[in-house]
Structure 1
């Protein structure tokens, strides 16, 4: 099984509830493809980073988590 992490965004166009719905759908798709979601991350951000969509701090947090696994 592939291990995955998924990331959701909360911003002025997408509230916490909608973000969780999207994460639920991503998790289902991961499972359908034979994966298992190890961790879900959420980023509250007003203006997504054009290259990563999430901020540097969240990128570092995810990187630290993945390296620890």
Structure 2
């Protein structure tokens, strides 16, 4: 799980492998609307990752999702 207290001017993103970037922000950046989840300005948010039918790298802990990066 990850938690953030971002301001309305910031957005965060998380990358899984090298294929997907998901943006978390009050408003979507141009061109990122398809991978955007809205946050509420001034409110905290958290992320939980649920794995359905995980493959061996997840089970033996040789793979894990990337860290959340702050984007300005």
- Shorter-normalised TM-score: what interval? 0.3 to 0.5
Instruction: Indicate the structure with greater helix content.
Output: 1
Instruction: Indicate the structure with greater strand content.
Output: 2
Q: Which has the larger radius of gyration?
A: 2
